[in-house]
Amino acid sequence: MSESAVATLKLPPRVSGEKPGAGHMEEFGVNFARFLMRCNAECGELAEFNMGGQQTVLMSGPQAQEAFLKTLDLKLSRAAAYQATVPVFGRGVIFDAPPDKMKTQLKIQVDALRYQNMVHYSTIISKEVEDWIAGWGDEGVLDFLDEFLRLTLNTATHCLLGADFRYKLTDEFRELYHALEKGLQAIAFVDPYLQQPIFAARDKARERLQEIIGGIIAERRATSGVEYGDALETFMAGTYADGSYLDDNEITGLVIATMFAGHHTSSGTATWTLTELARQKPYADEVLQELQQLFGDGAPITFESLREIPRLERFIEEVLRLHPPLILLMRRVIEDIDYNGTLIAAGKTVAISTFGSHRNTDYFPDPERFDAHRPKPDTLFAYIPFGGGPHKCAGNAFAMMQLKAIFAALLPRYEFELVDPDETYQDDLSAMVLTPSGPCRLRYRKRR
């Protein structure tokens, strides 16, 4: 863009409350979902704030969100915005890979979630749920935030790394994985290489996970003619344009990245789905009736049988509206942007907030009220739980299949109620991935 063209453009309005040096980082770090809603309420469609020295422009509303997700793709970089993931996924993996390699790696990741694998995965998830509830008894109380973290970690490792690894899953592996998760706190998106205990633990965990996963890779390479039907098999078979295979570091990084997509976000959504089922009895009864008709006579839970469960799907969609898995999506501006007469300069970060978008009263009246019959807005890019455009989350189909498989097995067997006062079940808005604030205790009883 020429200097004369730039000179004619206005600048985005700035958010109030900026502090010397830190900018808005303190408020952002405490509760950035609410902070972003304040930005939108104060400044409108575009709102610029200072995230620890990184100038960031929040884009709000369907038109701006469509531009972010779709029409501005050539001028925005995901890789530059998500450098916090590099120590987690590994050097040379996805957002640290050259563009052509990143494109190939993401295609291989999508291949791991193709139809043939999904058919196999649905059976695995159903078995994991059966094993999970086998020792429950007739009734009890559980912290389902912890329970779903454990269940979805089991399902993710089973689907990605196979049964041979899943049934050797140790406490060490769980602890290493959670150390990686903790390394993606808000401060990591300012500087992921600060001298912080959580980052030191993250780096040690990534190194040890490569040793563990590398051992599985070596075992498989030493054998031949065995079909595993899991994601690791897909990653090991993937090749670049020159015919070379992914190395152990790249395979490990893809496993970790796919687990992040399929585990933590699913565990939070599963916990909120069960919590809302306990809260919303009329809607829960409708879902139960549908599931009893489909599976009440002992019909097997298969990928085909999970494809059409409209009442459960609508319920989960409303859960995803109120409690979207990722609160914030970001890109780095690599070329000056003229957005409707406003300059968004190269070097800045742009962001959209799914949490805020789903509370836009123009498209979601009475937005804090749970309504499983709420119609989806006609306007595209108002409802964006999995993003949208060319970079829509590749794991969204797997996530929905996993959630439907869990509740198709669970709800016909047990009923649930809140243990603590309703108002104590709140979103934890301090991290990038949204979950309920723990504990999330529910009482279960076997249905008569």
Q: How confident is the model at residue 115 (pLDDT cuts 50, 70, 90)?
A: low
At 444 the pLDDT is 97
- 90-99, 182-191, 418-427: least confidently modelled range: 182-191
- Give the tens place of pLDDT for each residue, 15-34: 999 999 889 988 887 888 88
d(CA 425, CA 445): 20
Domain ranges within the chain, ordered by starting residue: 3-446
Predicted confidence band of residue 167 (pLDDT cuts 50, 70, 90): confident
Residue-wise pLDDT tens digits, 138-151: 999 999 999 998 89
Q: What per-residue confidence (pLDDT) applies to 264? A: 66
Q: Residues 76-94: what's their mean pLDDT?
A: 92
Reply yes or no on whether the pLDDT at 395 is more than 80. no
Q: Please tell me the least confidently modeled range out of 86-90, 157-161, 368-372.
A: 157-161
Domain 3-446 fold is Cytochrome p450 (1.10.630)
State mean pLDDT over 439-447. 95
**For residues 179-195, average pLDDT:** 85
Omega within 30 of 0 (cis) for the link into 439:
yes
Q: Give CA–CA dist 252/217, Å, rounded.
A: 9
Instruction: Give me 128's structure tokens.
Output: 């994991």
Give percent above pLDDT 90 in the chain. 59
Identify the pLDDT of residue 394: 67
> Is residue 296's pLDDT more than 90?
no
- Containing 215, the helix (H) or strand (E) segment is helix 197-221
Q: Token pair for residue 43?
A: 């400044």
Q: Which residues, 6 or more positions from 448, have their beta carbon under 8 angstroms from its beta carbon?
A: none
> Can you tell me the mean pLDDT for 41-64?
94
Q: Could you tell me the pLDDT band of residue 294, with boundaries at 50, 70 and 90?
A: confident
> What does the pLDDT average to over 279-308?
87
Q: Share the mean pLDDT of the chain.
A: 90
Q: Is the pLDDT reported for residue 87 higher than 90?
A: yes
- pLDDT class of 4 with cuts at 50, 70, 90: low
Query: What is the residue type of 346?
Result: A
Amino acid 157 reads T
What pLDDT does 307 receive?
82
The tokens describing 330, both together, are 């970001």
**Res. 2: pLDDT tops 70:** no
Has residue 210 got a pLDDT over 90?
yes
The answer on pLDDT for 229 being more than 90 is no
Which pLDDT band holds residue 280 (cuts at 50, 70, 90)?
A: very high
- Name the one residue in this structure whose structure tokens are 């565990």: 267
DSSP code for 186: G
Mean of pLDDT values over 186-209: 91
